Amino acid sequence: MSKTWFITGTAAGLGRLLTERLLARHDRVVATVRRPGSLDDLTERYGSRLRVISLDLTDTAAIKTVVAEAFNALGRIDRIVSNAGYGLFGAAEELTDAQIDRQIATNLTGSIHLIRAVLPYLRRQGGGRIVQLSSEGGQIAYPDFSLYHATKWGIEGFVESVAQEVAAFNIDFVLVEPGPTETNFGAGLDVAEPLACYGPTVAGEFRRALLTGSFDIKGDADRTVDAMLQVLDQPQPPLRLPLGSAAYDHITQALTQRLALASQQKKLAYSADKE
């Protein structure tokens, strides 16, 4: 049975591939883009099954308007995919105030407002699924991505809380956590001006590895989308979905280390309770 999807950030990358896959299997898609015309080829091919709307996630008022327009036009939307976002790259000290504000407004605040905007509609229609594109960077951290990680760790905490609040309304969530994947993510990076003092540090080493192309990227975008759909089509998907061997290995290693560290602190932690 075909479904109707609302997907942000569909001009390129995983959002574009997901939109193509869904249309090819005869689902309907409301696709948001920042640049009008980005999906003209798909509109010509699929006609009324694709509805394209311009949206910048930093415009909170526009999010509510676009969501209302989509639900009013289509009646029911089964799946919401919060995919729009980008990476801000540079040591924390190198970033400008404007870069920080835009990163948070797009990746974190924008995603929060999108989820809040769709909840009343999903609740009234009796349920639905919200898919939040996160990253392995929602559970681990690289140098030079501090603000990107702040947004991904932040949205994961938000989703984990909201998922508990709305479960009674038959609304569920999936946090998709891809590892480094061959998409246009690198081309869309907002790169801070480097400070010479960070050159010989781990931040400088990582900057050189990433910007020269020597950083190992194992993930395949097409296979990532195929794996996403396998899970998103399940009646009861997991809350978190790591994708790619790098994401799986990095996340499990980080969780194991955190658990071991927490276990060492058990006696001290318990000592802080009231007697």
Q: Choosing from 86, 121, 142, 148, which is the catalytic residue?
A: 148
Q: How far is CA 31 from CA 89, 122, 216, in A?
A: 27, 18, 31
| Residue pair 31/39 in contact by the 8 Å Cβ criterion | yes
CA distance 46 to 10: 15
Placement of tokens 């050189």 in the chain: 208
3 catalytic? Reply is no
| Residue pair 103/152 in contact by the 8 Å Cβ criterion | no
φ, ψ of residue 180 to 5 degrees: the values are -55, 125
Placement of tokens 């010989």 in the chain: 200
Print burial letters for 227-241: b (CB count within 10 Å at least 16), e (below 16).
bbeeebeeeebeebb
Instruction: Specify which residues 172 forms β-bridges with.
Output: 129
Q: Choosing from 111, 134, 135, 146, which is the catalytic residue?
A: 134
How many Cβ atoms sit within 10 Å of the Cβ of residue 37?
A: 11
38 catalytic? Reply is no
134 catalytic? Reply is yes
CA distance 155 to 45: 35
Q: Choosing from 3, 46, 111, 152, which is the catalytic residue?
A: 152
Placement of tokens 């009013």 in the chain: 72
CA distance 38 to 132: 22
Question: What is the 8-class DSSP label of residue 200?
Answer: T
CA distance 209 to 111: 30
Q: What residues are labeled active site?
A: 134, 148, 152
